[in-house]
C-alpha cells in the first residue's frame, strides 16, 4: 500500500507546502485531532494509520473499522512536527471522508433493505474511483456489506458485451462452464425474465437481474419458481438501486442487491483536522494556543 500513499502525497505536495514553510518554525511539535462532524461508520483506520506514520506523524486511532461514530467524536490523534501534520492533513482527510461515506451508506442501505427481507445481502460493484478499489471494498465490508468480486479474476461474470459477441445466454454459460475450474462460480447478467430462465437452464450459479424494475425482478423470481429452478441459483438485482428503492428491490425475493451508489455516490460524511495543542515551540513545552 505504501507506493499508493506515496503517490497521493507527491501529487498534493510535490513542491512542498510553501504556506507552512513560510509561517511555521521548524521544531514546532503539535497534537491534532481528526474529528467526525457527522454520525458515521468508521472505515479504513489501519490505512489511515499507515499514511500518517509514513508521513512522519505519530498516529493514535480512537475507533475501529465498523464502529459507529457520533458527531464530534475524535477518531484519530496525531502528534509530531507541525509541518508534517499539515502536510498530510488533506490527503488523510480525503481518504477518510471517502471511506467513512462508503461505510455509512452501506450500513444505511442494509438497514433499509433488511426492513423488507431480513438477512438479504447488500453488495458493492467494481464501479469505484480509479485507484480506490481496495479501499472502496474494505469500506463496504466495514459497513457490513458484501464486497462482491474483488477483481476481474475473482469470478466469471458474463455481461451484455460478452453476450453481444457470443450471441446467446445459454451458449455463453455453457462455454464458461466447460472452461472454468470447478472452484469458479459463473454469474450472468440478464435483462429480462426469459433471459434469466435461459441462464438458469444452462447452469449459471448466479443470475444478475440488471436494470429491471422491481415488478420485472419479481416476475423473473416467480418464473424461476414456476420452472422449479429458483432454489438452484442465487439471484442478484442490480442497476439503479438506491437508498430510496432498496426496500422495494429487497421485497422482490432476490438474495442480493448490488449498487454502485455505495462506492460512486455515497452520502458524504464530514471530517476535519484541528490542531489542539502545541507540545513544543522554541524549546518551550506545552505552549498554549491562543483562542
Phi, psi of 75 (to 5 degrees): -100, -20
Q: How far apart are CA 70 and CA 87, in angstroms?
A: 27
At 283 the pLDDT is: 66
Are the beta carbons of 266 and 259 closer than 8 angstroms?
Answer: no
Using CA atoms, how far residue 58 sits from 34, 40, 55, 158, in Å, is 13, 24, 9, 47
pTM: 0.93
At 173 the pLDDT is: 93
H-assigned helices in the chain: 2-13, 18-23, 45-54, 82-114, 133-142, 160-166, 169-179, 193-202, 214-226, 246-250, 261-264
11 CB neighbour count, 10 Å cutoff: 9
Burial 166-180 (b: 16+ CB within 10 A, else e): beebbebbbebeeee
Question: From the candidates 64, 107, 127, 138, which is the catalytic residue?
Answer: 127
Cβ-based neighbours of 67, under 8 Å, separated by 6 or more: 41, 42
Cβ-based neighbours of 240, under 8 Å, separated by 6 or more: 211
Q: How far apart are CA 13 and CA 57, in angstroms?
A: 16
Rg over alpha carbons for the chain, rounded to the nearest Å, is 24
Are the beta carbons of 233 and 204 closer than 8 angstroms?
Answer: yes
At 238 the pLDDT is: 97
Q: List, in sequence order, every residue forming a beta bridge with 206; answer none if it has no partner.
A: 187, 234
Half-sphere exposure at residue 247, Cβ-oriented, CA atoms within 13 angstroms: 6
At 290 the pLDDT is: 44
* Homologous superfamily, domain 2-107+268-287: Quinolinate phosphoribosyl transferase, N-terminal domain (3.90.1170.20)
Which among 30, 91, 17, 94 is positioned nearest to 58, based on CA atoms? 30
User: Rounded to an integer, what is the distance from CA 108 to the centroid of its chain?
Assistant: 13
Residue-wise pLDDT tens for the chain (291 aa)? 556 777 888 888 878 888 988 999 999 999 999 999 999 999 999 999 999 999 999 999 999 999 999 999 999 999 999 999 999 999 999 999 999 999 999 999 999 999 999 999 999 999 999 889 999 999 999 999 999 999 889 899 999 999 999 988 999 999 999 999 989 999 999 999 999 999 999 999 999 999 999 999 999 999 999 999 999 999 999 999 999 999 999 999 999 999 999 999 999 999 999 999 999 887 666 655 543
Active site residue 127: yes
Question: Is it true that 2-107+268-287 and 117-264 share their CATH fold?
Answer: no
Fold of 117-264: TIM Barrel (3.20.20)
At 291 the pLDDT is: 37
Are the beta carbons of 95 and 135 closer than 8 angstroms?
Answer: yes
**Domain range list for the chain:** 2-107+268-287, 117-264
Are the beta carbons of 143 and 100 closer than 8 angstroms?
Answer: no
Amino acid at each position: 500500500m505504501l507506493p499508493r500513499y506515496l503517490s497521493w502525497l507527491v501529487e498534493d505536495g510535490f513542491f512542498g507546502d510553501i504556506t507552512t514553510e513560510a509561517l511555521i518554525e521548524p521544531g514546532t511539535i503539535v497534537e491534532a485531532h481528526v474529528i467526525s462532524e457527522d454520525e458515521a461508520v468508521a472505515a479504513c483506520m489501519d490505512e489511515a494509520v499507515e499514511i500518517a506514520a509514513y508521513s512522519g506523524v505519530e498516529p493514535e486511532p480512537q475507533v475501529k473499522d465498523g464502529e459507529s461514530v457520533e458527531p464530534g467524536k475524535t477518531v484519530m490523534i496525531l502528534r509530531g512536527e507541525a509541518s508534517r501534520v499539515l502536510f498530510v492533513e488533506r490527503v488523510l482527510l480525503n481518504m477518510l471522508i471517502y471511506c467513512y461515506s462508503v461505510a455509512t451508506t452501506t450500513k444505511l442501505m442494509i438497514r433499509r433493505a433488511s426492513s423488507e427481507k431480513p438477512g438479504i445481502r447488500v453488495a458493492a460493484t467494481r464501479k469505484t474511483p480509479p485507484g480506490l478499489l481496495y479501499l472502496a471494498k474494505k469500506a463496504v465490508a466495514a459497513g457490513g456489506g458484501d464486497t462482491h468480486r474483488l477483481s476481474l479474476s475473482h469470478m466469471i461474470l458474463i455481461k451484455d458485451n460478452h453476450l453481444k459477441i457470443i450471441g446467446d445466454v445459454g451458449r455463453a454459460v455453457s462455454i464458461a462452464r466447460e472452461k472454468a475450474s470447478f472452484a469458479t462460480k459463473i454469474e450472468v447478467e440478464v435483462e429480462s425474465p426469459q433471459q434469466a430462465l435461459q441462464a438458469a437452464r444452462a447452469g449459471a450459479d448466479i443470475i444478475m437481474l440488471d436494470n429491471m424494475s422491481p415488478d420485472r425482478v419479481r416476475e423473473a423470481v416467480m418464473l424461476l419458481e414456476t420452472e422449479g429452478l429458483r432454489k438452484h441459483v442465487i439471484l442478484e438485482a442490480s442497476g439503479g438501486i438506491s437508498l430510496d428503492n432498496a426496500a422495494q428491490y429487497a421485497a422482490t425475493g432476490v438474495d442480493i442487491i448490488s449498487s454502485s451508489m455505495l462506492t460512486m455516490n455515497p452520502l458524504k460524511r464530514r471530517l476535519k483536522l484541528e490542531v489542539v495543542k502545541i507540545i513544543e515551540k522554541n524549546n518551550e513545552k506545552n505552549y498554549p494556543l491562543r483562542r
